[in-house]
Amino acid sequence: MKQFAQITIVLLGLIYGTAFSLCTLVTLGDLFYRKVRRVIIFPVIAGVIFGIAFFLQNKLIGGLFPLPLYLLHTAAAFFLLTERKKADLLPLICAELFSGCMIGSMQTALFSVTNGAERSFIPVTLLYLGGFLAAVLFVFLLKRLVRSEGREPLGLLQIILLTSISCVVTSLVSRSFTMSDYVPDVSPEAAIPSVLMLMSVSVLLLLSVKTDQAKRFREVSELSEKYMTAQAKHFEQSRAADTEMRMFRHDMKNHITVMNGLFDSGKTEELGEYLKELGNNFSDTQSANFTGSEIADAIIYEKKKYAETNGVSLVTEGSLKGAEIGAVTLCTVLSNLLDNAVEAASQTDAERVVDLSARKSGSFYYICITNPTADHVDVSADIPTSKPDSAGHGLGLKSVRKAAEKCGGTLELSCKEAARGYVFTAEVILPAKQ
């Protein structure tokens, strides 16, 4: 019987370690929505290590001391599951605490509702296994509930709030039971706060996700409205240019007659002035066709007007013709980058010219925008800005990066010293098909 008990402890450690690691992986990647490496074998390896450690601790010291195992698990998960950045450590620890609380609450609820049942070895073992399995199923249920398109990662404050509630309730509930030979003696009332905690966490998690979705929807709506406004102005300008062109062609016969008369009379100076004025009139009939993409041209046309009012020249080169880039993505990228470029160029003593170039290379489109800037921009910062009061500034670049990465693209920034001030460059690479 003693040998059977030792085997059971190994089995419990194996299943607990696997359940704990699996819950951590799902919580971090799907509930907190942080970037993780899906190392599927990690929960199994963690389970084996937990099982061996439980066996050795029980045999050598006659009890379980799990703290070293949790520290080892945190270190291994940090190096194997995350991108090994400092910002990944706190969400990982919160995910582990959250997972431990879920397992503990499920165990408490199960032992509480079966308080009057026999506490023999096999039923207790099955209750432990049931708690592990119920916790995993509950976390996967939460994963399914919060799944949605265009989700944003939970903020640190939201993660800390969810984890704190879980830890506080679990700590309070733990006072309602005692342990004797690994068998919890739980009062029947302990199930109530455990279930309420699980329900509260579920509601808070769903509210956090829905709030982020509503925020994202508002942002998309604002961008769509901005794009539609720019497109309407673009179409109106194109229609006016087309009307001007038809009128110009209609009057061409009269223009030729006048020019022949001036030439025959030897009035070359007047003929030159006439041709110059005719050229200016002809330029007014040009439609706003900068890149071959209606979406991009509508935005660029609007930004050209904005640049002119700020004493800045916007020069375009290249083509985005045939680009299958989402309207919202293209609007986010071009609007924010051009707004920033024009604003920076308008505040410099250097030549106020913003250059926009676009071209296709393989299966990607390359968009590059350069502009002069009076101050150096720290492109290594989380929110790059040249302004000392960074709050409220640089958010446009953050939106561009998020939009580019969401569709599999990238944003690269650089700022180099020039003869007068600095030159800021934003390079965006977007997939040709999305």
Q: What is the pLDDT, as a whole number, of residue 287? A: 47
DSSP 360-424: EETTEEEEEEEEEESS---TTSSS--SSS--TTSSHHHHHHHHHHHHTT-EEEEEEEE-SSSEEE
Strand order in the sheet with 422-431: 313-318, 353-361, 364-373, 422-431, 410-417
Does residue 252 have a pLDDT over 70?
no
User: How many CA atoms lie within 13 Å of 88's alpha carbon, on the beta-carbon side?
Assistant: 19
Q: Can you give the pTM of this predicted structure?
A: 0.59
Q: What is the pLDDT, as a whole number, of residue 355? A: 93
Q: What is the pLDDT, as a whole number, of residue 399? A: 81
**What mean pLDDT is reported for the chain?**
78
What would the pLDDT profile of 2-57 be if each residue is shown by its tens digit?
A: 565 667 778 888 888 999 999 999 999 888 888 888 888 999 899 888 888 888 87
Q: What is the pLDDT, as a whole number, of residue 20? A: 93
Q: What is the pLDDT, as a whole number, of residue 393? A: 43
Q: What is the pLDDT, as a whole number, of residue 383? A: 53
Q: What is the pLDDT, as a whole number, of residue 353? A: 93
What would the pLDDT profile of 270-295 be if each residue is shown by its tens digit?
A: 777 777 776 665 544 444 556 767 77
Range picked from 102-116, 186-200, 214-228 for highest mean pLDDT: 102-116
Distance CA 231, CA 298 (A): 5
What are the start-end ranges of the E strands in 162-202?
Answer: 177-180, 183-186
Distance CA 324, CA 21 (A): 41
Q: What is the pLDDT, as a whole number, of residue 392? A: 39
Return the axis-axis angle of helices 327-345 and 294-309, rounded to nearest 10°: 20
CA-wise closest residue to 165 among 120, 217, 128, 200 = 200
Least confident of 122-131, 193-202, 417-426: 193-202
Q: What is the pLDDT, as a whole number, of residue 249? A: 62
- Would you tell me how many other CB atoms lie within 10 Å of the CB of residue 123? 13
Distance CA 194, CA 93 (A): 21
Q: What is the pLDDT, as a whole number, of residue 260? A: 72
Q: What is the pLDDT, as a whole number, of residue 220? A: 63
Does residue 235 have a pLDDT over 70?
no
What would the pLDDT profile of 146-205 be if each residue is shown by its tens digit?
A: 877 666 778 888 889 888 888 888 777 766 555 555 555 666 666 677 777 777 777 777
Q: Are 343 and 382 in contact (CB under 8 A)?
A: no
| Rg from Cα positions in the chain | 33
Q: Of residues 243 and 387, which shows the higher confidence score?
A: 243
Q: With the C-alpha atoms ordered 241, 243, 246, 249, is the resulting torsion angle positive or negative?
A: negative
Distances (CA, A) of 76 to 82, 97, 208: 10, 15, 29
Residue 202 is encoded by which pair of tokens? 């579920």
Q: What is the pLDDT, as a whole number, of residue 389? A: 46
What would the pLDDT profile of 307-352 be if each residue is shown by its tens digit?
A: 989 999 999 888 887 667 777 788 788 888 999 999 999 988 888 9
Does residue 390 have a pLDDT over 60?
no
Q: Are strands 353-361 and 364-373 parallel, antiparallel or unpaired?
A: antiparallel
What would the pLDDT profile of 44-81 be if each residue is shown by its tens digit?
A: 899 888 888 888 877 777 667 778 889 999 999 999 99
Does residue 370 have a pLDDT over 90?
yes
Does residue 391 have a pLDDT over 50?
no
Residue 85 is encoded by which pair of tokens? 């950045």
User: Which residues sit opposite 433 in a β-bridge?
Assistant: 324
Q: What is the pLDDT, as a whole number, of residue 424? A: 93
Q: Of residues 246 and 370, which shows the higher confidence score?
A: 370
CA-wise closest residue to 81 among 24, 45, 37, 47 = 37
Distance CA 361, CA 368 (A): 13
Q: What is the pLDDT, as a whole number, of residue 285? A: 44
Domains by residue range for the chain, with CATH = 2-212 (no CATH), 291-434 (3.30.565.10)
Percent above pLDDT 90 for the chain: 15
Distances (CA, A) of 367 to 50, 63, 66, 225: 51, 63, 53, 23
Q: Are 186 and 176 in contact (CB under 8 A)?
A: yes
Residue 348 is encoded by which pair of tokens? 């410099």
Residue 176 carries which DSSP code? Answer: G
Residue 73 is encoded by which pair of tokens? 């698990």
Q: What is the pLDDT, as a whole number, of residue 198? A: 76
Does residue 375 have a pLDDT over 60?
yes
Mean pLDDT score, 262-271? 73
Distance CA 95, CA 210 (A): 20
Percent above pLDDT 70 for the chain: 71
